[in-house]
Amino acid sequence: MAKQLVSRRRFVAGLGLGTIATAAGCDSRQAVDRAEVRQWDYSADVVIAGSGAAGICAAIEARAANAEILILERLSGTGGSSAMSGGVCYLGGGTPLQKALGFDDSVEAMHDFMVAAGSLHPALHKIALYCEHSLEHFQWLVDHGVHYAQKYSEYKELPFDDASLYYSGSELAYPWRDIARPAPRGHVPSVMGHTGGRALMQALIPAAASAGARILGGVSCERLIREGDGRISGMLITEAEVPKSVRARRAVVLACGGFIHNREMLRRYAPELHDCSTPWASAGDLGIGIRMGMGVGAAALRMDQGFVILPVYPPERLLRGIIVNRAAQRFLPEDSYYAYAGHETAFAQHGQAWLVCDADSSYDAGDFRMPLLAEATTPEELEQKGGFAPGALSQTLAYYNEAAVRGEDPLWHKHPKYLAPLIKPPLRLYDLSIRNAFCVAHTFGGLETTLDGQVLDAFGASIPGLYAAGRTSAGMPSAPYMASGVSIGDCTFFGRRAGRHAAREQKS
């Protein structure tokens, strides 16, 4: 039976290698047989590739289980894409911060929203587990140095001040507000400006270091090392242009981000994300961990998915405008989460959308994030300048304005505070197309894993000694993206589980 399993895995690995060679310019990440490794240059119980939130949290938990840890980081600095992020963690169910600020929430409401706001095929088992343990995870973050201030922000975007709680998704928008009781669940480390990711990692990285985790920077992870029985026992790396080998006595954890900066992988797997103007991640998000996993036969899921953010806020005054497609039809509630707007534009509208505002709902000076295409004094003139079919945009505006006067939106039920007729000239038309606007994108596809981070092959069997977490894995985030903080929540929570379980593997 063992020989059959090894044969099957090697067969799948061969398929994975062919896929990778095509996707990444013949950049082979096929595993190396242990017999080819003559010496070990480094060794640890658990070897972790990546020093972002997933890798660092894996290290903290593995150290708590008394495992010796070595973290490998491609860049000279630590923190990965997590340090570049807003640091938002999506938590709910009645966290101490929610309660202190007077917000009532439940695990059920949090779960129902996440399921409703995500894709048609979300990772239900991971979402359920995450929601069930949300309170414990909040406390774990606090215990490891993450500071949350008892301050609520009414900003729809990530708070500009030092507030730590806000509505980070479409909880208050239609139809989600009718599906699950709304509550603010975006938990942000208390810090001025959009530097919550840095604050998050400035707490977690020292926690890992003080626990005894070693970090080796400036090294490139190249290929996994596989024993004759199929077990992963280490990794080949390049340090200062010198090939070296790293032994993992218990397991390897791949936590080296997604692939938004690998243009060939984007063309193959996620063409909509490839077309977005602004890939957003650290320079190390090249898909290396995913390709190494594929090189040993790992299955990959949701490789076409990611988040796409349209700059429809801040400021919130822009939400008084309407977003239309090429047919001049509205296709979403404008007050929904900006990653939902991005998803619908990229995946359902061929990447094209336009924002229509009047003088009261737009900037006088324009907006660097989206080109101003036209100004006009009448809907008909704006329609003509924008290249819409005669009568299309003017009819859409007439219908919208008639209902907005009454404080109503029969089509998309936009919140009344964003409803006002668009009548004050000049009327303005902005280009929200994903190629032309400041359209931020990041990948969600990755290796299929169990709840404990074990990497699975194409037949659903775990690959011994191999784990993945964060955006190297296919976790909770899906398209459309539910809310800001789901990715960091996934990285930290399932990174912890991967590290804890990897530390329990039998030593080889």
In a domain, 265, yes or no: no
What would the pLDDT profile of 394-404 be if each residue is shown by its tens digit?
999 999 999 99
Mean pLDDT, residues 258-264: 98
Q: How confident is the model at residue 157 (pLDDT cuts 50, 70, 90)?
A: confident
Both tokens assigned to 313: 């806020």
Name which of 26-40, 203-217, 415-429 the model is least confident about.
Answer: 26-40
Average pLDDT, the chain: 93
Least confident of 16-25, 231-240, 241-250, 252-261: 16-25
CATH code for the domain in which residue 386 is found:
3.90.700.10
Q: Over range 85-89, report the average pLDDT.
A: 96
Do 68 and 58 touch, CB atoms closer than 8 A?
no
> How far is 257 from 443, CA to CA, in rounded Å?
9
Element (H, E) at 267: helix 263-269
Residue 85, classed as helix, strand or coil, is coil
| Residue 56, domain member (yes or no) | no
In a domain, 43, yes or no: no
pTM over 0.95: no
Residues 6+ apart with CB under 8 A from 363: none
**28 confidence band (pLDDT: 50, 70, 90):** low
362 is a domain residue: yes
Please count the structural domains in the chain.
1
Query: Which of 346-360, 362-376, 460-474 is least confident?
Result: 362-376
Mean pLDDT to the nearest integer, 397-418: 97
Least Cα distance to 497 among 145, 132, 110 occurs for: 132
- Please check the confidence at residue 158 and state whether its pLDDT lies above 90: no
- Tell me, what's the pLDDT at 479? 95
Burial class (CB in 10 A: 0-12, 13-18, 19+), 244: middle
Nearest to 303 by CA among 486, 473, 454, 452: 473
Q: Whose structure tokens read 């990530």?
A: 158
Q: Is 34 within a domain?
A: no
Q: Check pLDDT > 80 for residue 102.
A: yes
Q: How far apart are CA 453 and CA 61, in angstroms?
A: 13
Q: How many CB atoms lie within 10 A of CB 38?
A: 6
pLDDT of residue 27: 63
Per residue in 449-506, pLDDT (tens digit) is 999 999 999 999 999 999 999 999 999 999 999 999 999 999 999 999 999 999 999 9
Q: Which residue has the tokens 């699975």?
A: 456
Provide the pLDDT confidence category of residue 15 given band limits of 50, 70 and 90. Answer: very low
Lowest mean pLDDT among 20-34, 298-312, 329-343: 20-34
Residue 357 lies in a domain: yes
- Domain that residue 410 falls in: 314-431
User: What pLDDT does residue 365 have?
Assistant: 56
Say if 419 falls within a structural domain.
yes
Per-residue pLDDT tens over the stretch 338-347? 999 999 999 9
Pairwise pLDDT comparison (13 vs 378), residue with the higher score: 378
Q: Which amino acid, 234?
A: G
d(CA 219, CA 76): 9
182 lies in some domain: no
Over range 379-408, report the average pLDDT: 98
Residues above pLDDT 70, as percent of the chain: 94
Tally Cβ neighbours within 10 Å of residue 488.
Answer: 29
10 has pLDDT over 60: no
Residue 12, CA distances (Å) to 18, 27, 41 in order:
10, 18, 29
